[in-house]
Chains A and B, each alone.
Chain A
Amino acid sequence: MSFSSDDIKNVAHLARLHVSDENADKLGADITNILTLVDQLQAVDTQGVEPMAHPMDAVQILRADDVTETNQRDKYQACAPETEEGLYLVPRVIE
């Protein structure tokens, strides 16, 4: 499986990463190499093997439904670029 520079650009866009044309070619080649390794893994017969959801062989611990957090808005908003009336302000987004 090969990964073109167009594929790189598409994935970069989805992840909101800026990738230059020059880097896109290089990254395309790198990722194609990685996918070659994946192809080798794909060749292994995995019939009857249950897919893993997590590398740790353990089960999730759950917590009780209690409110344990208090209002720390001022502290959190101290590191936000801009706030108003308690809201975080971001560049306008509209569908």
Chain B
Amino acid sequence: MQWETVIGLEVHVQLATKSKIFSGSSTAFGAEPNTQASAVDLALPGTLPVPNEQAFRYAILFGLAINADINKRSVFERKNYFYPDLPKGYQTTQLDEPIVGPGVVDIELSDGSSKSVRIHHAHLEEDAGKSLHEDFHGMSGIDLNRAGTPLIEIVSEPDMRNSEEAVAFAKKLHGIVTSLGICDGEMSQGSMRFDVNISVRPKGQEEYGTRTETKNLNSFKFMERAIKLEVERQIDVIEDGGTIRQETRLYDADKDFSRAMRSKEEANDYRYFPCPDLLPVVFDDSYIEAIRKEMPELPDARKQRFVESYALSDYDASILAADAATASYFETAQAVSSDAKLSANWVMGELSGRLNSEELSIAQSPVEAKAMGELVLRVKDGTISSSGAKKVFNTLWESEGKSVDQIIDANGLKQVSDTGALEAIVDEVLANMADQIAQYQEADDKKRKKLMGGFMGPLMKASKGQGNPKLFNEILQRKLNN
């Protein structure tokens, strides 16, 4: 049987406000536990929430960016459930009257095609605190610093059909919210978290299968993996004659395994009702239009600009323009080096590889954009070879504060490009390589190419690694081929 996967996403985006959604507590990441949890966040009796206007502005900005309807009137509800990191016993959220109505996000796929994913709505709500289950002699530890951090929850329609589409959608949202500056996009700090609804159905069947929800994925890689595992699991269950239970699942990245959470049947009875502490929030057209005027450049427009102003390929431009931090890094590097293509290669190659292997975001890169630009400039003007540049890059990565030129000088990486000096070295080296020269001259073109390496080694050695390899190659060709 051929199966079709159906995927919908719920995406929690932490808004980059300074203070919480209903209190004046700081939202800064990484503070000592409970030092940013005030009386309102702790739900002490007698406290009243007062909403943060900036959270609404950010939500409206997002809605406008995806061409969604903005609801001029929105209402907060109480979603009731018990958990220790939710001190009020309910989450203040929106249900029937969310701030952002239906919209659309376009995604590009690796085969060059594109697809529209419909957004059902996006609503404002507060984040919960954090529960720590280890090391407290049988107790759980609760940190409420995160409680009350403003979130928008973006709910998609079930429009995605495989993990590639789901990841492309997630990345596109990441690009949009970081470009808008409404979220810092730091996935490792939980700034964006994904709940994935997955079901399978026989290909051609219209009706959806029973879905499961895998909660709280905080990286694109884990999301892709969790989807693949869950699709395989569901197909196995059905093909073995079983049925899928509607349930919430947790993916454990360390064990690469997902398990069902305890039955949510009862817990799903959230008994929503309008929050009596908060009045309806109302905006007029001129307020919304003023926000529209502040709309910064979005990834699609930026990609187009990169193709046009820097003559980058579609592929390069889409990667570099995808999120605000990468785009600004690239533009700084290219402004310093005045070489867009070479800057693009370094950002997407050496830098991105190293960031990935060390699981860092580009904002956390030890090599700053300006230094990267200086490095590219020195490759471009021939001061260093590409292998020398890799050494400079590694040194920049390990040791902060040194400039590219200082590193080049300190490590003797400057290439010798004086053709007279290089020619003298070539003559000296060739004088002792009569056998190899004879062998080379008897060889055909294809073999000659291979034999060149045998000359380059001694030349680089004789020049203490500082000879310009490109010029060495030219001189060699000239001397050997006549």
Contacts and interface: CB of A to CB of B under 8 A. Distances in A.
B24 A66 contact: yes
Interface stretch (A28-36, A37-45, A87-95): A87-95
Interface residues on chain B, size class: 35 or more
Interface size class of A (residues with CB under 8 A): 35 or more
A77 B24 CA distance: 19
Nearest to A64: B53
A65 B36 contact: no
A71 B35 contact: yes
B51 A62 contact: yes
A63 B261 contact: no
B140 interface: yes
Contacts of A62: 50-53, 56, 281
Contact of B281 (A15, A59, A89): A59
A78 interface: no
Secondary structure class of chain B's binding surface, majority of residues = loop
A89 B139 CA distance: 6
Contacts of A64: 52-54
Nearest to B31: A71
B139 A92 contact: yes
Contacts of B282: 59-60
Contacts of A76: 34, 37, 39, 42, 44
Nearest to B53: A62
A68 B34 CA distance: 16
Given A14-B269, A61-B50, A65-B18, A87 B132 contact: yes
Contact of B139 (A56, A59, A67, A90): A90
A18 interface: no
A53 B274 contact: yes
Contacts of A95: 250, 261-262
B1 interface: no
A72 B144 contact: no
Contacts of B178: none
Interface residues of A, dominant DSSP: loop
Nearest to A77: B34
A25 B88 CA distance: 29
B266 interface: yes
B18 A56 contact: no
Nearest to B44: A76
A28 to B, nearest CB: 18
Contacts of B293: none
Given A14-B269, A14-B271, A69 B140 contact: no
Given A60-B51, A85-B33, A86-B32, A66 B18 contact: yes
A34 to B, nearest CB: 16
B109 interface: no
B471 to A, nearest CB: 59
A84 interface: yes
B35 A89 contact: no
A68 B51 contact: no
Contact of A87 (B38, B53, B141): B141
Contacts of A49: none
Contacts of B138: 92
B157 interface: no
A72 B75 CA distance: 31
Nearest to A13: B266
B281 A65 contact: no
28 contacts: A10-B266, A14-B266, A14-B271, A53-B274, A60-B278, A60-B280, A60-B282, A62-B50, A62-B51, A63-B24, A63-B50, A65-B53, A65-B54, A67-B25, A69-B23, A69-B26, A76-B42, A77-B34, A87-B34, A87-B132, A87-B142, A88-B34, A89-B139, A91-B140, A92-B133, A93-B84, A93-B140, A94-B140
Given A59-B279, A72-B39, 15 more contacts: A13-B266, A14-B271, A53-B75, A53-B97, A53-B274, A60-B51, A67-B26, A69-B26, A76-B42, A77-B34, A82-B139, A88-B141, A89-B139, A90-B142, A95-B250
The 4 closest A-B pairs by CB, nearest first: A68-B24, A87-B141, A65-B54, A86-B33
Interface of B: 17-19, 23-26, 32-39, 42, 44, 50-56, 75, 80, 82-84, 97, 131-133, 136, 138-144, 250, 261-262, 266, 269, 271, 274, 276, 278-282
